[in-house]
Structure 1
Amino acid sequence: MTTDNPGKLGRLWVRLVGIVTTLAGLYFIGGGGWLAWLGGSWYFIIAGILLLLSGVLIVRRKLAGAAMFGVVLVWTAVWSLWEVGLQFWPLFSRLFAPAAGAMLIAFTVPLLTSERKTRRLSVGVGALLAVGVVTAFISSFQPKGIIRNEDVQASSDKAHDIAPNSGRKDWPAWAGDTKGSRFSTLSDITPENVKDLKVAWTAHTGEAVVPDKGDAEDQNTPLQVGDSLFVCTAYTSLISYDIDSGKEKWRYTAGRGNSTYQRCRGIGYFDATSAKNVAEPGQPLDASVSPQRLFFPTGDGRLVAIDAHTGKPAANFGDNGVVDLKVGMGEVKPGYYQQSSAPLVAGNLVIVGGRVIDNFETNEPPGVIRAFDAVTGKLVWAWDPGNPNVTREPLSPEGYTRGTPNVWVGMSYDQALGMVYLPTGNATPDFFGGERTPEDDKYSSSVVALNVNNGRPVWHFQTVHHDLWDFDATGTPLLYDIKNDDGSVTPALAESTKTGMTYLLDRRTGKPVAPIEERPVPQGNLPGERYSPTQPYSSMPGIGNETLTESAMWGATPFDQLMCRIRFKSSRYEGIFTPPGLDMAIQYPGSLGGINWGGVSVDPTTNLMFVNDLRLGLYYKMVAAKDIPPGQGTSEGMGWIVQKGLPFGSLRERLMSPLGVPCQAPPFGTMTAIDLKTRKIAWQIPVGTVQDTGPLGIPVGLQMPLGMPTLGPSLATRSGLLFFAGTQDFYLRAFNSHTGEEVWKSRLPVGSQSGPITYRSEKTGKQYVVIFAGGSPHSPQRGDNIIAYALPE
């Protein structure tokens, strides 16, 4: 029965509701039919037919149209519960939009009938649905999927103790020390008083990155020694600030960066008055010129030694303070080689690897590791992964072996054992390995331990065999002593990787501490390629590497979820090590991780290691070189990738919905605490909201804690705090490191990819927490802010 005269506006509204419902039905029928043909869920095509009938009936002002939509809602609810159970975000994606649509149609029913009883019932149903929609919306502001393992936390509390404020007061290395710990014993700022933390001062570099001028990102973790804070910029400046006021003390500008990849993640610090001579043990070091100096890597492949007090080049280092790292490297095209991470200072050696441009061509610059005398700049030793006979200078006029695996992230150093630990990438190009040599494969995607005195390999462990996925070993190796129940100590090394796996090894020998199993993996059929029959799976908890299914596909609405399901079902997917091929395949984790260069931090008083991750998959295929469109392939990341010199390039895109939302269900990034003794998760929380990002790149402006992709390091303190800023919203946060509870946050002017540091001023006695906020990749907003926090007087 229809109402006699709903009015012109009412009729227009009914028609609009009916047309929108009809279009939704047609979309679901088309996409759902495609999905069903691919072997996927039949839900969408059935729902589409029902929506089409509902829309047509509503346009004709038939009450049965509203009833039909009610059937769709019930059908959706039953299907959703069957498919994903009571998981909040998967249910939200499936039910929120249909419930909101049913609510509008319920309130439209009075325009379809003159029966008062039906009108009152429909308004009541609409009100009930409105309550449900509002309740779900409010609930979306509460974190979901939190893991808290009380048993693991309880066992952690019994671990060995370290007295508060008993360690260093400075932050003299990228990770605070050479062991990758990112831990401080400073304990004035606690979970109880961190709520009182305020901005003490703000400084500016004056060199905010311009997003559309080259590939530049501010990712610097500052250093602090004495009364000076040292910050480097993407545009090759090194600046010293007073630690109590933020006043600039001096500035050195190296100039001549590059336009392809501009980063300065960190610098090295050396004190000749206290450093041990590991190059010539027992010999004193000449500390007469610039005894305290900084090692500053530039974007064009130079290493500059700067007097820490004056900002002037150290005259006795290299050529007036400069060592050209391109010497001995053969041909280095502009932008093809630079340092992307902090140099490692080990005794009187400054050790550098290098980042090479990915995927442009074969025969790229060498991945050689070199150690220079920190006083003179003289080359002490070199390790060439492609030629074991090289000990210092290259043996060939063409330079060190080209195209070998490189070390582009931070390294670690154990002074007691005399070993340097290197996380390696794979030989470039990344996605086809048919022409790699046995030497290329031997050390790729590995942890390599070198003797610090001579650079010779002691052991190595490979995290991915014959890597075809760009699954580098990415974390600065964490060197950690595990105290066993019998009183013995295991000197361990934890290496995090893009696969989301962490490998726990004995750092003396490279043997597993946590079991590692070689498992069979899928084999590909790309002409000219070879495949490893197995891959090493760690027994440590995996982070962000769960096996995807069609039901795991997500979207902000059912409409983009449908497209993600179609993408999933039309692509080949066989787990983490799905081999590349000529057909579309899914890679999850993607080439960003898993766990990227931010690595981990640790609290040795609780045995807890803190890991942040990002969960962005890819869909991609290999393409014969002759079939790549002319002029394409200028990117080393997404889109067309030429891989010049190989028979295949590739076409790669992020696994995202048409709205630019990751296709798998949230969280898209977490912070996880893993007990290194029990090897279990103590807690895991989603980190980051959609306040400063969202569908189509438009900030939502709401603090919905979905857990967003993270990039950058964390900081743990003895007082039980964990600081982190590498989220996609503009905040520095502090968590209770024992429980994962967020206890404080401060709004930043822009995002940050930098690591927080902490130090105590000898002058004022204050403990500061400092963060560099220069922007993050997902947002065009950039800044040049160094922000220091302290407790009030």
Structure 2
Amino acid sequence: MKAAISIKTKKQSYPLTSGFILWMLLLGIGSCTEKQDAYSNWGVYKADAESSSYSPLDQINKENVSKVALAWVFEPNDSIAGDRAQNSESNPIIIEDVLYTTSARGRLFAVDAVTGVLKWSFDPFDGERGGGVKRGVTYWEDGSDKRILFTGGDKLFAIDASTGMPISSFGDEGRVNLNEGMRGDPDKISVIPTSPGIVFEDLLILGTEVSELYGAEPGHVRAYNVRTGELTWTFHTIPLPGQVGYESWPKDAWKYAGGANSWGGFSLDASRGMLFMATGSPAYDYYGADRKGMNLFGNSVVAVNARTGDYIWHFQTVHHDLWDYDLSAPPNLVTVEHDGKKIDAVAQTSKVGFLYVLDRETGESLFPIEERPVPASDVPGEEAWPTQPFPLKPAPYTKQYLDEKDLANYSPSSRDTLVKLFRSYRYEGLFTPPSVQGTLQFPGSRGGSSWGGAAFDATTGLLYVRSYNSPEIMLLKKVEPENAITNLSVYRQGESIYNTYCVSCHGRDRNGDEQGNPSLVGLKGRISEGDVLNKIKQGGGKMPSFSSVITDKAKEEAILAYLFENENKGHPEQEETLLKEINNNQGASPETQSVDSLARYLNLTAYGYFRDTEGRPGINPPWGMLHAINLNTGDYAWSVTLGNKPELQTGVQETGEAGSGGPTVTAGGLVFIAGTRDKKFRAFDKDTGEKLWEINLPGYANANPSTYTADGKQYIVLSVGGDSKNTAGSVMAFSLPD
């Protein structure tokens, strides 16, 4: 089946006559049929331009899903010696019986969708280590010109979909440098998209991943000409003077502030010519003395003109974010019945567990929202915004308040430890700001739902979303730039950098954790210093770029000395020079120098779990759940636990688990979802939440499933992470037996 993904349309205005309304109804029926044909083979990330994660396929259904079994496996086999198990988050697309996906290392593969046999591959890193999160690729065609558009590192590539060869007329021999067109020096920054762009007419619209630290790049959203690679328009998520939202920042913030990036992907209403984005928090995530104000368009659902990038409307979900409460998934474009009328709307999931349902044309909420007072910050220089928006309906799909009865009770000593910790932290409910005392954050920054987003079934009005209940600890420490590192050996300088920026993810012992933060012990002999430095500067996996931290040779030498355990690195006479380089702000603009003179605070326990002394979750289960929400009424159809930790299970109720990958819903009456640490892939009855099927996987599959038909058979396909035997992971396809 041919997937005509490039949609050409014109935005026009028409009088609302009865004849026009009838014509529009007929057009809608035709458009629905055309959409079903175009997307039945999952030709776009998350199924379609509306990010529905819905498939009209029903060959696999409630009655036969129990018979579904493995059909084929594709293994990229692109690991490099010394690699540990890799995790791929790619949501494959399928065009004319060819599956396109990326590996955990970031290479592009075209695979026969019937057999899983490799057709071709492309390495954007020219044999280098590569890596970095990639959640999928984008397809565009015009007649015989068929292209795969995807990113590798900080480059955008256009690849011939038939041959796997770069298209030389696009950019510089098939590639575009994404560092160009940003605020910073292209040779000194690295912006790396993690989610695929979206195509509108002859434009590829692309977000990006930027650092979340001081000195981060702004989160520009940019549109490139699909044919030439030329930059066509830029939407500034940190507004320039004269643009909407500029007054919500200090007057020079556009020169130095960063973040507010749309890293989770986009949704598109092609008939209206409207692009919808959801943005993350401004940088630095946990302290905002240099960005006083509401900080538009951070943490916002934003609608823009897809042809021009011009602003249409916005809705901000968190004002002046201090909690890393990114909107991490693209909005779902939905049609709901509200007050007796059909309304095109936008449904936005969140980390705090609120679901925002907004009119697609105006951005106004379909359900009541209250601005409520929230706790003030007690950190010098910080001005937390005094109120935050609280939707009254639907009810939150994540627990939002804790008291002592919610603390886990594995044993008397464990319970006593957790109660003592709980009482030692500042905690006044949702939106309690970070503090130097230590703040209990709930939901945590990994709470609610993540980049996997939700799935929407237009035939029922039900939206399906996973949730995760997990508190975190925020502990701020003041860091003085001018004397952060003084009178230390090169090795100790590196240790100080590590303890400031790295310890919260990789641990004080450098052993990492099971949540995708790898061990850094024993790097010597299994990875080169050059590869480590590239990873630090470019980011990869869950790790953002730290190019804004490792800004000179001195810092490079210091962090490498520490990571590679070279305690004797450097000579005394060299150390004086290195210290001067580290403590100088060479080449900075007057605005940046002024901002850099401010005191800074860092969250030393960023992403730090609230756990007992044995590493067990500090609150009672369920920790992970799957929900079905009726968007017509705002009521819940059902909620069930998702995932299990058998060693912590008591009774018959499963515990639920963390996960970021989202669900897929089908006309066969099923919701498919993976992304749990118990390495299972499951199918639920979409009407009742009853679990109808599950299968064990060889690795952790933290990705969204795709489904398609090929050679008359429906397949469910999923990217699966690696294990000790196959570190590169695999793509696994499931179907009914012949």
1:630 aligns with one of 476, 482, 496: 496
Tell me which residue corresponds to 1:427.
282
Summarize the Cα distance change of 1:507–1:442 in structure 2 as closer, same or farther, 3 Å threshold.
Answer: same
Summarize the Cα distance change of 1:773–1:426 in structure 2 as closer, same or farther, 3 Å threshold.
Answer: same
Matched, 1:381 2:251: no
Moved more, 164-173 or 179-188: 164-173
1:368 positional shift = 0.8
Tell me which residue corresponds to 1:479.
333
Task: Describe how 1:448-459 pairs up with structure 2 within 5 A.
Answer: 448-459=302-313
- Rounded to whole Å, the distance in 1 between the matches of 2:83 and 2:122 is 25
Q: Which amino acid aligns with 1:558?
A: P
Matched, 1:589 2:536: no
Summarize the Cα distance change of 1:426–1:520 in structure 2 as closer, same or farther, 3 Å threshold.
Answer: same
- Rounded to whole Å, the distance in 2 between the matches of 1:559 and 1:187 is 52
Determine which structure has greater relative contact order: mean sequence separation of CA pairs < 8 Å that are 6+ residues apart, divided by chain length: 2
Matched, 1:307 2:160: yes
Task: Describe how 1:411-426 pairs up with structure 2 within 5 A.
Answer: 411-426=266-281
Summarize the Cα distance change of 1:684–1:558 in structure 2 as closer, same or farther, 3 Å threshold.
Answer: farther
1:616 aligns to what SS in structure 2? coil
Matched, 1:194 2:194: no
Matched, 1:772 2:719: yes
Summarize the Cα distance change of 1:377–1:163 in structure 2 as closer, same or farther, 3 Å threshold.
Answer: closer
Moved more, 162-171 or 621-630: 162-171
Q: Which amino acid aligns with 1:430?
A: D
Q: How many residues align?
A: 595
Q: Is the 8 A contact 2:478 2:601 kept in 1?
A: yes
1:613 aligns to what SS in structure 2? strand
Task: Describe how 1:269-668 pairs up with structure 2 within 5 A.
Answer: 269-273=139-143, 291-299=145-153, 301-329=154-182, 330-331=184-185, 336-359=190-213, 362-388=214-240, 403-436=258-291, 438=293, 441-484=295-338, 486=340, 488-539=341-392, 540-626=394-480, 630-631=496-497, 632-635=499-502, 638=505, 645=596, 646-652=599-605, 653-668=608-623
- Rounded to whole Å, the distance in 2 between the matches of 1:445 and 1:566 is 34
Q: What is the TM-score normalised by the length of structure 2?
A: 0.76
Q: Is the 8 A contact 1:260 1:335 kept in 2?
A: no
Tell me which residue corresponds to 2:641.
686
Consecutive unaligned residues in structure 1, runs of 5 or more: 1-159, 274-286, 392-397
Summarize the Cα distance change of 1:783–1:191 in structure 2 as closer, same or farther, 3 Å threshold.
Answer: farther
Q: Which has the higher helix share?
A: 1
1:633 positional shift = 1.7
- Rounded to whole Å, the distance in 2 between the matches of 1:192 and 1:484 is 33
Tell me which residue corresponds to 2:666.
717
Q: Is the 8 A contact 1:331 1:365 kept in 2?
A: no
1:386 positional shift = 3.0
Tell me which residue corresponds to 2:735.
790
Matched, 1:179 2:124: no
Moved more, 579-588 or 704-713: 704-713
Tell me which residue corresponds to 1:758.
707
Q: Which amino acid aligns with 2:501?
A: T
- Rounded to whole Å, the distance in 2 between the matches of 1:451 and 1:594 is 30
1:317 positional shift = 1.2
Q: Which amino acid aligns with 2:639?
A: Q
- Rounded to whole Å, the distance in 2 between the matches of 1:637 and 1:469 is 15
Summarize the Cα distance change of 1:164–1:342 in structure 2 as closer, same or farther, 3 Å threshold.
Answer: closer
Consecutive unaligned residues in structure 2, runs of 5 or more: 1-28, 244-252, 485-494, 509-543, 550-595
Q: Is the 8 A contact 2:106 2:131 kept in 1?
A: no
Q: Is the 8 A contact 1:595 1:613 kept in 2?
A: yes
Q: Which amino acid aligns with 1:183?
A: Y
Identity of aligned residues (%): 32
- Rounded to whole Å, the distance in 2 between the matches of 1:739 and 1:382 is 44
1:785 positional shift = 1.6
Q: Is the 8 A contact 1:773 1:783 kept in 2?
A: no
2:73 aligns to what SS in structure 1? strand
* Residue-by-residue CA offset, 1:106-135 (whole Å, 9 max, x unaligned): xxxxxxxxxxxxxxxxxxxxxxxxxxxxxx
Q: Which amino acid aligns with 2:59?
A: D
2:66 aligns to what SS in structure 1? helix
- Rounded to whole Å, the distance in 1 between the matches of 2:127 and 2:686 is 39
Q: Is the 8 A contact 1:690 1:702 kept in 2?
A: no
Summarize the Cα distance change of 1:388–1:206 in structure 2 as closer, same or farther, 3 Å threshold.
Answer: same
1:780 positional shift = 11
Summarize the Cα distance change of 1:748–1:556 in structure 2 as closer, same or farther, 3 Å threshold.
Answer: same
2:470 aligns to what SS in structure 1? coil
Summarize the Cα distance change of 1:401–1:327 in structure 2 as closer, same or farther, 3 Å threshold.
Answer: farther
Q: Is the 8 A contact 1:411 1:422 kept in 2?
A: yes
Summarize the Cα distance change of 1:260–1:364 in structure 2 as closer, same or farther, 3 Å threshold.
Answer: farther
Q: Which amino acid aligns with 2:51?
A: G
Q: Which amino acid aligns with 2:370?
A: E
- Rounded to whole Å, the distance in 2 between the matches of 1:622 and 1:750 is 36
After superposition, the CA RMSD in angstroms is: 3.1
- Rounded to whole Å, the distance in 2 between the matches of 1:246 and 1:549 is 51
- Rounded to whole Å, the distance in 2 between the matches of 1:724 and 1:712 is 8
1:343 positional shift = 1.2
Q: Which amino acid aligns with 2:602?
A: G
Q: Is the 8 A contact 1:689 1:703 kept in 2?
A: no
- Rounded to whole Å, the distance in 2 between the matches of 1:404 and 1:165 is 35
1:561 positional shift = 2.3
1:422 positional shift = 1.0
Summarize the Cα distance change of 1:718–1:248 in structure 2 as closer, same or farther, 3 Å threshold.
Answer: same
2:405 aligns to what SS in structure 1? helix
Q: Is the 8 A contact 2:338 2:633 kept in 1?
A: no
Larger radius of gyration: 1
Q: Is the 8 A contact 2:469 2:624 kept in 1?
A: yes
Tell me which residue corresponds to 1:726.
675
- Rounded to whole Å, the distance in 1 between the matches of 2:93 and 2:173 is 23
Q: Is the 8 A contact 1:675 1:681 kept in 2?
A: yes
Matched, 1:706 2:655: yes
1:565 aligns to what SS in structure 2? helix
1:531 aligns to what SS in structure 2? coil
Task: Describe how 1:132-147 pairs up with structure 2 within 5 A.
Answer: none
* Residue-by-residue CA offset, 1:291-340 (whole Å, 9 max, x unaligned): 111111112x1000111111111222111211111112223577842011
1:489 positional shift = 1.6
1:676 aligns with one of 631, 656, 661: 631
- Rounded to whole Å, the distance in 2 between the matches of 1:399 and 1:577 is 26
1:620 positional shift = 2.2
Moved more, 196-205 or 626-635: 626-635
Summarize the Cα distance change of 1:563–1:334 in structure 2 as closer, same or farther, 3 Å threshold.
Answer: farther
Q: Is the 8 A contact 1:200 1:788 kept in 2?
A: yes
1:560 aligns to what SS in structure 2? helix
Q: Which amino acid aligns with 1:188?
A: Q
Q: Is the 8 A contact 1:367 1:402 kept in 2?
A: no
Q: Is the 8 A contact 1:211 1:782 kept in 2?
A: no
* Residue-by-residue CA offset, 1:40-73 (whole Å, 9 max, x unaligned): xxxxxxxxxxxxxxxxxxxxxxxxxxxxxxxxxx
1:292 aligns to what SS in structure 2? strand
Summarize the Cα distance change of 1:499–1:335 in structure 2 as closer, same or farther, 3 Å threshold.
Answer: farther
